[in-house]
Chains A and B, each alone.
Chain A
């Protein structure tokens, strides 16, 4: 009888489950291109996406279960097994590690009685590590579901856990709010902006919509001319001239075009887009709206990284406000026929989605794999239509250029890098945070500004950038010398450079999409050899091996991730050769120094209960 009752309950639960799945899919018109939104809803609702859910979704969307599984298993915020009601993701960035994240992990493990990667038996808590969540200036930090906890200490994480255990709601967990709009009722976040140095383009006093209003009185060609003349280049790191990108899209035959904003700020150590979206959301949307007018697009999309989910309702509030004010939607600013609107697409934990074609794949409901070029996204992007993808900062610069004039912007910076750059400075310095500076600032000038004393190395441009030593501190931040998407990490003389290099390789191993052989496999081999060097087992041949392998990875990888992933190895070899030479031994007997004969003999020694006077270092006759 009890069994029958159980099976009836199960059947009822299954029916309810299926009805909810059906509703979620129906909310997105059973459109498989909205797979990300559908899976995020399922994950939030059921805390997992199990085989049954995948099968049901596949049937409703008209695709195969293995296609759904491909998406579920690609993004780190999806899980096939149930997560806790509160999923705590501790940021595992190198800066957070240096700031003591291991102690936070220890406190979490002790408080909850589980290890990282596990879920409590009552399914209340899950604890995991996650890649950089964009809070390096207030590390260590973690996410609890969508809430950010910054400046963690073992004490405050314990009291947060106790509060949640005692029934405090997630919304009420944060009691003190951060600076600026972080305290706005639509944001209510403890995150701080840490704007240390406002510059002349983005973080000064700006009145909204002046750029847009000017732009709407101009022809698209006149706007393009201004943007090209201003010399503005993409702020995401690659630095492609924005005007040229827009011009290509504007000149395509396809009349359906898209304006995408890349807010997947995943490069470890970068957080400037987070601050721009908090403090300059109108400017961002204004820039996208100008782009819509310029390239002839009605559809905008902001791809917001899963780690910034706490910004979603804030941005939606701003979007709605702008619709209400007539700055978004139909006949914008009374210009008949100029329609443009924006939706937010959430990511789900995948660094590679910051690569523009991977971002487009993700928006199409696919795993975040880059696409084969050609065709380029500006010719054939989202759903095969021309799509411009620009960084948050780039879009914010556009209205300022239109308002203040191309020559004003062109006049700032260096010969090939114009305007200002928002730098996210973190690590070993007194004043981490955001610095808006004209391109061309030298590293030593920046060090003085941020209060970086006793710095041994600066990582410019995140893991895919360059590790610069003291002999390079006169180098300048600009496309001609040291380009960066914004990440500047300061490392003091106390830090172990090879630990940093190994951490960066771990990051690329975790974040490689796995599509192409060199990036999928080669990075694992690079890390193995760095590990060998750190253990003191390497010989000079290993240095040649690292260089050769790096070259193969760079030359044969399909996208920018693989083409830059060996940079931590190569730039540390270039700038810190002494560290390597101190650790690399020359083998006297031509045998491999990494062969650990004691380790190899240990098991047989144990089994044989017998010791050798030749091989046992501590052998004695007694």
Chain B
């Protein structure tokens, strides 16, 4: 019973949404819209669940004095402080002069963009240490990479206009052909997996004791 009901919910919701896509009758379309609006709310709740889980795990690690536990204090102070300040602002939480926006600009935005900017250094290091041209295929990859790297920036045009032209051709013809093949293959895979999910043939989300396919 505990496993059948979720499978039934998935089947009914999935089939109904598939039918609702093709049938514009108002009675079906109304319920179709309602179900999708409900899921928007439920998805929002999953984000809150994720944060609650983060809170639970880090509180546990902090009280157990696990490795690096002082940093968990920092995490919890950041989480609780930001949440408290945000809720204290009410619906004006994202106004330009609010304290919540200040936290966003000072902490969230600056650290988020810096974290990702670290990748520039690692891609340069990896280009030296890991990019090995050991086969014809790797050589093709390298040539395409060179043409793109130089052709898509102004220095390519300054060296010779043929370089950006070659980069454009590369993107519009051979790259396009391969990407389209991948797109079509992926689309077929998504359709097949989606049908399997709706029909309950993929039960990996079942939790403890569930899983496996049939």
Q: Is chain B a partner of chain A in the same complex? A: no
